[in-house]
Structure 1
Amino acid sequence: MSLDRDRVLRTFLTDGRLVSMPARAGKRRILLEHIATRFEPGVRYPESEVNIMLRAIYPADWVALRRYLVDEGLLDRADGWYWRSGGYVEV
């Protein structure tokens, strides 16, 4: 993990929960890529399950978090289903 990435995650996450959304796009991207790793590649998730997962991370505005993930190309959606479509994959 790079020092910058580690610093961003420490700043904006506490006990796995998002404390605030970074205003700067670069920091936000680092954070969103980290959150996207919670979604397994190749698995389709119903919107209700995505909402539960994201509400646990950012109860203040999980809907905005979901929108950010889609807008950044990390999640894709169709007909109420979501799947991981970008970001890095740890092996």
Structure 2
Amino acid sequence: MTGEDAGEELRAYIREGRITSIPVRRPARLLLLDRVARAFEPGVRYTEARVNEVIGVFSADVPALRRGLVDEGFLEHDRVHYWRCGGTVDL
């Protein structure tokens, strides 16, 4: 799917740069999560507080997005840090 196609697909879930709802259909949900994951720099470790700040820019439902990012393999975490482990990378 091209970037333009992805934008069209996500238009129903994003208004004025903020996520209004999380898609039920997995392909659309993965596109949305990938867009959020791109806000995290590969190779950088983040505290949970910082992850929450970054996700909070996209949506008020921070726990659902954080859980989705982890469950779908975009972020990994240990007891102290989160780090990006999946998704597309802007060149």
Give ranges in structure 2 of 5+ residues lacking alignment.
none
Task: Tell me the TM-score normalised to structure 2 length.
Answer: 0.91
Report the equivalent of 2:72. Answer: 72
Residue 83 in structure 1 maps to residue 83 in structure 2:
yes
Match of 1:89, SS?
Answer: coil
Report the equivalent of 1:63. Answer: 63
Deviation at 1:9, TM superposition (A): 2.5
Give ranges in structure 1 of 5+ residues lacking alignment.
none
For residues 30-66 of structure 1, give each alpha carbon's deviation from its aligned partner in whole angstroms, at most 9, with x where no partner exists: 110111000000110000011111122110x210100
- Using the alignment, how far apart are the partners of 1:48 and 1:2 within structure 2? 30
Report the equivalent of 2:7. Answer: 6
Report the equivalent of 2:20. Answer: 19
Report the equivalent of 1:48. Answer: 49
The count of corresponding residues between Structure 1 and Structure 2 is 90
Deviation at 1:80, TM superposition (A): 2.5
In structure 2, give the amino acid aligned to 1:42. G
- Using the alignment, how far apart are the partners of 1:48 and 1:23 within structure 2? 27
- Using the alignment, how far apart are the partners of 2:45 and 2:17 within structure 1? 23
